[in-house]
């Protein structure tokens, strides 16, 4: 494990560090298998666990058996889906504008994470990035401060979400998860620490708008050329364990 964040950032003033974090760990068995494959055979170093789904326990079991893999809490308050160009609410856990209900749900999911994994999360984020808006934003930032862990989008760790296989309208965008595109993303990383979001997975049990793209991501993240490109660029892989 490296030194704390402040020391790592100023190690030589020129190093680029990369955390590759897979979202949706625990959502389905096939997503679990894809993320584990991307960890063991690719460049994924961290994952964010969704505790509300049946496959969460299997994902947590892997986390318990592999403590060097940093695992955060992927707060799940609902999901929107796009069909034929129209966005609709697929499910809702609590009203996102009800601060008290959101705070209670975040506490419940944090307690479930601790029960499943046996330790605190190494970082916090949310499904479909809903914590970028209030009141979820303040609640998650306060929770991260209490835990002493990073919260995506808020803090010194930069976030890159442009390795993604769909447009903002939910239309397929295979170029966004191509090897060439990932190489361009990596080549533009600044000095310091960057989190690259990704969504690898197999697709045999997924009923969601983001399905085939998961397998495309997995193939690219496991391509040996990616690790070679990181070495060529002098980019060092890290996990959230290294920025505690």
Residue 52 region by backbone torsions, left for phi larger than 0, else alpha for psi between -120 and 50, else beta: alpha
**Per-chain mean pLDDT for the chain:** 92
Give the C-alpha separation, 35 to 42, whole Å.
9
Contact 37, 87 (CB under 8 A): no
Stretches in the chain below the pLDDT threshold 70: 1-12, 204-207, 244
Task: Say if residue 83 is exposed, middle or buried (CB neighbours under 10 Å; 0-12, 13-18, 19+).
Answer: exposed
- The token pair at 160 is 């890159």
User: Domain 5-243 adopts which CATH fold?
Assistant: TIM Barrel (3.20.20)
Active-site residues, by number, are 23
Which pLDDT tens digit goes with each residue over 83-131?
777 778 888 999 999 999 999 999 999 999 999 999 999 999 999 999 9
Which pLDDT tens digit goes with each residue over 217-238?
999 999 999 999 999 999 999 9
Dihedral sign, Cα of residue 46, residue 48, residue 51, residue 56: negative
pLDDT at residue number 203: 73
């Amino acid at each position: 494990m490296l030194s704390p964040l402040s020391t790592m950032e100023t190690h030589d003033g020129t190093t680029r560090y990369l955390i590759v974090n897979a979202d949706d760990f625990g959502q389905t068995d096939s997503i679990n298998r894809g993320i584990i494959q991307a960890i063991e055979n690719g460049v994924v170093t961290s994952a964010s666990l969704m505790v509300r789904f049946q496959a969460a326990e299997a994902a947590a079991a892997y986390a318990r058996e592999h403590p060097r893999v940093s695992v955060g809490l992927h707060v799940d308050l609902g999901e929107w889906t796009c069909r034929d160009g129209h966005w609709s609410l697929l499910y809702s856990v609590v009203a996102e504008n009800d601060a008290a209900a959101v705070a209670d749900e975040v506490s419940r999911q944090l307690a479930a994470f601790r029960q499943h994994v046996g330790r605190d999360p190494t970082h916090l984020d949310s499904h479909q990035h809903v914590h970028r808006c209030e009141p979820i934003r303040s609640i998650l930032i306060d929770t991260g401060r209490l835990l002493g862990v990073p919260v995506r989008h808020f803090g010194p760790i930069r976030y890159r979400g442009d390795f993604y296989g769909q447009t903002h309208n939910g239309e397929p965008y295979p170029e966004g998860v191509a090897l060439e595109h990932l190489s361009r993303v990596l080549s533009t990383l600044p000095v310091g620490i960057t989190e690259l979001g990704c969504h690898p997975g197999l697709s045999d049990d997924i009923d969601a708008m983001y399905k085939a793209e998961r397998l495309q991501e997995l193939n690219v993240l496991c391509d040996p050329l990616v690790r070679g490109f990181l070495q060529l660029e002098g980019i060092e892989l890290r996990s959230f364990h290294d920025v505690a």
